[in-house]
Chain A
Amino acid sequence: MTDAETVVTALYERHAVSMIRIALIMLGDRAAAEDVVQDAFFGLYRRWARLKDQDSALTYVRSAVLNGCRDALRQRARGDRRDRAAAVAWQAHPSAEAVALISEDHQRILAGVRLLPGRQREALVCRFYLSLSEDETARAMGISKGTVKSATSRAISALRRMLKEGKC
Chain B
Amino acid sequence: MLGDDTGLDDTALASETAAAMRELASVVSDAPPLRLAPRLRTIPSRRRVRRRLAAWMTPLAAAAAVIMLAITLVALRGSSNAPVVPAAKPAPASDSVPAYYAALVQKPGNAANPDQVQVRETLTGKLVATVNPATGATFAGITGAADDRTFVVDTQPGAIQSPNSNPSQQSVRPRTWYLLRLSPGSARPASLTRLRIPPTPAGAAVMGIALSPDGTKLAAAFQTPGWGISPTGSMTLRVYSVRTGAVLRSWTAPYGKDRYLVPPAAGFADDNLSLAWTGDGTALAFGQLTLAPGLVNDGALPPQNALTSEAILELPYTTPSGANLLSARVAFTFPGGAQHAAAGLNCGEAATTDLVFTADGQLLCAGTGMVRDPGSISAGNCASGTPWYQFGLLKYPTSGAARTVAKYAANCAGQSALLPLWTSPSGSTQLGLLSLQDSVTKTSLTFGFFRDGKFSAVPTPAALVSEGDLPLSYIAW
Interface size on B, residues (CB 8 A): 50
Nearest chain-B residue to A30 (Cβ)?
A: B183
The answer on a CB contact under 8 Å between A24 and B25 is yes
Contacts of A20 in B (CB 8 A): 28, 31
Among B1, B17, B25, B186: residue with most chain A CB under 10 A: B17
Q: From residue 1 to 26 of chain B, which have CB atoms closer than 8 A to chain A?
A: 1-2, 4-6, 8, 10, 13-14, 16-26
Known contacts A35-B39, A103-B243: does B34 contact A98 (CB below 8 Å)?
no
User: Quick one: closest B residue to A109, CB to CB?
Assistant: B20
CB of B25 within 8 A of CB of A8, answer no
Residue B214 interfacial (CB < 8 Å): yes
Whether B242 is near chain A, meaning CB under 8 Å from some CB there, is: yes
Q: Chain B residues near A33: list those with CB within 8 A.
A: 28
* A124-168 near B? 1/0 per residue, CB < 8 Å: 110111000000000000000000000000001001100111100
Asked whether A37 and B31 contact (CB < 8 A) given A96-B149, A96-B181, the answer is: yes
Which residues of the other chain, A, contact B183 by a CB distance below 8 angstroms? 30-31
The B interface, classified by DSSP as helix, strand, loop or mixed, is loop
**Count the A-B residue pairs with Cβ separation under 8 angstroms: how many?**
150
Contact with A along B235-251 (1 / 0, CB 8 A): 00000001100000000
| B16 pairs with A30, CB closer than 8 A | no
A119: CB under 8 A from chain B?
no
A5 lies within 8 A of chain B by Cβ: yes
CB-defined contacts of B411 to chain A, threshold 8 Å = none
A99 CB–B CB distance under 8 Å: yes
Main secondary structure of the interface of A (DSSP, over half): helix
- Write the chain B residue with the least CB distance to A39: B39
Bound form: Cα–Cα A161–B147 in Å: 32
Q: Is the CB of A101 within 8 A of B179?
A: yes
For A42, the chain B residues whose CB sits under 8 A away are: 35-38
B303 at interface by CB-CB < 8 Å = no
> Given the complex, which residues of B lie within 8 Å of A30, measured CB to CB?
27-28, 183, 186, 188, 191
CB <8 Å contact, A8 and B216:
no
Whether B59 is near chain A, meaning CB under 8 Å from some CB there, is no
Please, how many angstroms separate the alpha-carbon atoms of A100 and B149 in the complex? 12
* Chain A contacts for B185, CB-based, 8 A: 31
From B179, which residue of chain A is reached at the shortest CB distance?
A100
Residues from chain A with a CB closer than 8 A to the CB of B24 are: 21, 24-25, 98, 102, 106, 110
| A97 and B14 form a contact (CB under 8 A) | no
Q: Which residues of the other chain, A, contact B31 by a CB distance below 8 angstroms? A: 12, 16-17, 20, 34, 37
Residues of A close to B21: CB separation below 8 A: 25, 110, 113, 124-125, 128-129
Q: Let me know if A129 and B18 touch, CB within 8 A.
A: yes
Contacts of A128 in B (CB 8 A): 14, 17-18, 21
Q: Mark A38-74, 1 if CB is under 8 A from B, else 0.
A: 1101100100000000000000000000000000000
- Identify which of B6, B22, B186 contacts A160 (C-beta below 8 A): B6
- State how many angstroms separate the Cβ of B151 from the closest Cβ of chain A: 10
A36 CB, min distance to chain B CBs, angstroms: 10
Contact A34 B187 (CB under 8 A): yes
Answer yes or no: B30 CB below 8 A from chain A CBs.
yes
Contacts of B186 on A, CB cut-off 8 Å?
30-31, 34
- B contact residues around A163 at 8 Å (CB): 2, 4, 6
Contacting residue for B23 out of A13, A45, A102, A166, CB 8 A: A102
Is A105 close to B, CB under 8 A? yes
A96, B215: Cβ atoms under 8 Å?
yes
Contact partners of B243 in chain A: CB under 8 A? 100-103
